[in-house]
Each structure stands twice: as structure tokens, then as C-alpha cells.
Structure 1
């Protein structure tokens, strides 16, 4: 497993919120649903995304936008158009004054907007909970990223567009998996762009550090040391530490600790996983050792983290 595969193994949409949005100008939607991540595919027309404290980002037909939550943002036909609709955490849409718009904006199965045709058409999918996606992946992303239509080639958007308005049996599972595939394809293409890739991604091309990363990712439970890792790679301990830190941005054992705790965080979301089993899987000798490391780095105990990430109700 390479470092990117490890991160992308995290997305698991569960009953994802998916909509085909059809709008005629002027339109402006304030999104404050506090979702962990939103994916917006522009099928027709243009749009702008405006974040609080940030400049506007233009998106056109064929572009894909990924917005990291939970901070609010606005999507509009023009940055100057004032918000007309507010999207709330409970998937409720209202006017700025709180008047319900769910009936007025309903255009059929998973279709929403102010028009049946619309100059702008977007497919919107959201990961409502951080528990649906790897924490380490979220931290690797900028608040907003845009993949332009000439920067990737994928059949997934047309496939999602054809499936999103169907109401067949098992359709929610189909849409969950399509959203996961779309997000993975977008992030893989985005990470491949050298100017935007984090250090650990670029380091995979290095003949020494890339092998080191693969060893750590393939067997995080192994009792790794810098000397042991260097021996497997046929280089000196000092050379590995210097080269790894220079390319990845942190020493090998610090990277391993972060990776182990990221894996532990994902495993803790599984209701049947015991702390002892999680500790063994990620390379800690006891539940106490994992708890101490987890609380030191994340500020909460594994039990507190698990309770906070479980769905309510």
C-alpha cells in the first residue's frame, strides 16, 4: 500500500446527501450545513464559490470542486449576488429569514432548484460526518480545491448524473459508492499535480524514501526503528533520517506515529473494534500505550474520540 492508497481507503459514504441542483440566475446559496466535505461537479453553466475571508473561486462546466468543512461558504452565479437560500445542518433549506423552502425548491427525485431546466446544473455530494472520511486525508487538503476539466478525464460524472435521479431499489448504496469513486478519482488527479502535492506524495518517487513510506504503510504494527528501517533499505541511519525529513517534512518515526494514530482513529469508528485489537493492529503493545499516545497527540482519549464520532440517534 502506498501513502495515497492508505489515505484514500478512508472515504466511506453512508447514506450520502446527494442532489442534482438546477438554477437560473440570479441565484446564491449559503451553505452552512457543517458537513465534513462537499464535492461539486458542474455539469452546465458557471458558478462561483466564496468562502468567508477568502476570495471567490470560479468553476465552469466540467470542473470539480471539493470544499473542506465545516466552515460555511456561498455558491452563486456571481460573487456579487447576495444569498437567497440557506442550507442548514439538518438538510433543511430556508430563506435568510428562516422561511422553509423545501417544497418550493423541490424538482423531483434528488433534484432541487429554482428551475426545471436551469442555466446552471451541478451535482452535489456531501460527507456529512468526519467519521466518513480519514482525518489525515482531510488535514492534507486545502479548504477549497478545484480540478479543471482539462486536468483529468473520467466517466464518473456522467455516470453519477444518470444515476442521481433514479429511485431504484438499493439506489442509495449505488450513489454512495459512486460518490466515493468520484472523490478518490479527483483527489488522485489533484495530488498528481506537483505544484499542489504534499511532501509525502512527492517523496514516493524517491528511490529510498518512497520505499520507506511503503514499508511503513504496509506494516505499521512492525516495531520499526530508524536503524531497522535504514537496514532494510541499505542506507545509513543518518542518511535516511536526513533524506526522509527533507522530502516528507517530518522524521520517519514522527511520520509513523501520525500514521498509526490516523489508522487507529479510523478503526475506532467501527463499533465492534476493541481498544486492544486496535492497539495491536497499529503497533502499540497495549491499550494503555495507545491511549497515552492518542491523548498526547489528539487531546482526547480513544473512548472520548469514539463517542464523539458515533452517529446520533
Structure 2
């Protein structure tokens, strides 16, 4: 597993919130659900994004937007349109003056008129959006998400990806196993968008991503990520990559931004945090999976790195 795969592998989307919106101006949605990560694909029409940090981003059909939580933002037909609905945690919807208006999918009139998982103010609206929100935090993904801007836009003419259309077609279906199909399509669309963004020359891709193409550091990073439980040392890693210890340590630090063993420690403890969210995971089992000799050793390292004990971390949810 590499860090980018880790974004969606632990945990992947599991019952992610997915919605199709059909809209005719004027319309404006204030998103305050504080999801750790959300993706919005504009199937047709155009829209404006007003991030919490300020500024204005205009998007067109085929563009894909990734929103890094928990920042709030507004999506509307025009920057001057006042939000009509505030979407809060749990997808609770309220009017601007705080009056409850039910769930997004309850706002359809009559219910089901536009199809399942669909909301809007006009069945023939010229703007169609598909939105997917990840509900669960992952410490593995936190290492990646920390490198992303609050709003990331992949323009339709910068990549060739058919998944926007597939997701739009599938989101209105109500077949057996449909939730799993939509989760996987959302995962694929997200990972494709992130790979496209990281591959850009002008993007501030993290060091571990750029290092993947290096003939020495790339294999070293992949070995550390795929085998975290192995008793790695710089000497062993150097032998596996066919270079000297000094050469590996120097090149790894230059490209990744930290020494090999520091990178390994961060990766192990990120994996541990993710595994601890599994309901049946024991501290001993997690310690074995991420390369610590005992629960005590993992607990001590975990507290130094995360600032809380594994038990406190798990209790915090």
C-alpha cells in the first residue's frame, strides 16, 4: 500500500453520503457539514464556489471539486445569491434563520419525483451536480489531506475520465448492492482526481509522492509502506535498494523531507490510528501489524506522536 492508496483503503467510503442536485437559479447552498472530505462533480451547467478563506471559484460542466474539511463553503449559481439552505453535520438542513427543514433528500416535492438520492428545485434544472461526502476520519488520509488546499478543482479539459458520467448514471438507481457500487465509484473518481492534481508540475505535491518516481527512493518508500511490520533499519533498506546507507539516507531525506526511519514511524502510527478505529481491534493485534514488539511499545510511541494514548484516541471516536 502507498500513501495515496491509504487515503481510500483505511477506511474507504462506506455508506458515503451521495446526492444528485437538479437546480434552476436562483439557488445557493451553504455547506457546514464538516465532513473530512467531500467531492462534487458538475455534470451540467455552471456554479460558483465561495470558500471560507475568501475568493471566488467558477466551475463548469465536467469540473470536479474536492473540499478538504472541516472548512465551510458556499456553492451557488451566482456569488450574490443568498444561501437558502445551510447543510449541517449529519446532513441536517436549516434555513438561514435556523429553522429545521429536514434532510436534503426530504426536500423533494413530491418525494421521489426526481429519482432516488436526488434533491432540487426543478426537475428540468439546467444545473446538475453529484456530491459525495466521506463521513469518517482516517489518520492515514490525514497525512495526505494536510497537503491539499481547502478547495481543489480539476478542470474538465485537464484530464480524460469517464467516471463523472458513470457516477451520475448510477446515483439514481435503486438496485441491490447499489450503495457499494456508489462507494467504489466515488473512491475511483476521488483517487483519479488526486493523481491528476499531484502529477501537475505546478502543484505542491508532497515529497513522498514526488519520490515515487525516483529509482532509489521510490522502491524504498513503497517497501516501508507495504511492509510496516518488518524490522526495518537504514542498513536493511539500503541493502534492499542496492545503495549504501549514507547514499540512501541522504537521497531519501532530500526527496521526502525526513529520514527513512522518521517516515516509517509516522506511517506506522498513522496506520495504527486507523486500525484502532476498527471495533474488534486489540492493541496487541495493532502493534503486531504495524511493527511494534508489544502493546506498551506502541502505546508509548503513539502518545508521543499523537499526544493521546491509544485508548483516549479510540474513545474520542
Superposed pair shares fold, TM > 0.5? yes
Q: Specify the TM-score bucket, using the shorter chain as the normaliser.
A: over 0.9
In the alignment, which residue of structure 2 is the partner of 1:255?
Answer: 263
1:155 Cα deviation after fit: 2.1
Q: Which residue in the other structure is 1:86 paired with? A: 86
What are the Cα deviations for residues 173-193 of structure 1, in whole angstroms up to 9, with x where unaligned?
222222122212222222222
Offset at residue 108 of structure 1 (A): 4.2
Answer with 162-171 or 1-10: which moved more: 1-10
Cα deviation, residue 273, structure 1 = 1.4
Find 1:302's aligned residue among 290, 304, 310: 310
Residues 35 and 69 of structure 2 are in contact (CA less than 8 Å); yes or no, is this contact kept in structure 1? yes
d(CA) in 2 for partners of 1:133, 1:214: 15
1:141 paired to 2:142: no
Unaligned runs of 5+ in 1: none
Distance in 1 of aligned mates of 2:226 and 2:15 = 30
Tell me the residue number matched to 1:154: 161
With over 3 angstroms needed to count, the CA separation of the structure-2 counterparts of 1:78 and 1:133, relative to structure 1, is farther
TM-score normalised by L of structure 2:
0.91
For 2:231 and 2:50, locate their aligned partners in 1 and report how far apart those are by CA, in whole Å: 47
How many Å apart are 1:205 and its aligned residue?
1.0
Structure 2 counterpart SS, 1:229: helix
> Structure 2, unaligned stretches of length 5 or more?
none
CA RMSD of aligned residues (A): 1.9
Give deviations 1:135-171, integer Å, cap 9, x for gaps. Answer: 3232232221111112222222111111111222332
Q: 1: distance between equivalents of 2:61 and 2:186?
A: 18
SS of residue matched to 1:205: coil
Aligned to 1:168: 175
Matches within 5 A, 1:228-267: 228-267=236-275
Aligned residues: 309
Aligned to 1:220: 228
For residues 40-51 of structure 1, what are the structure 2 equivalents within 5 Å? 40-51=40-51
CA distance in 1, matches of 2:78, 2:57: 10
Residue 133 (structure 1) shift:
7.2
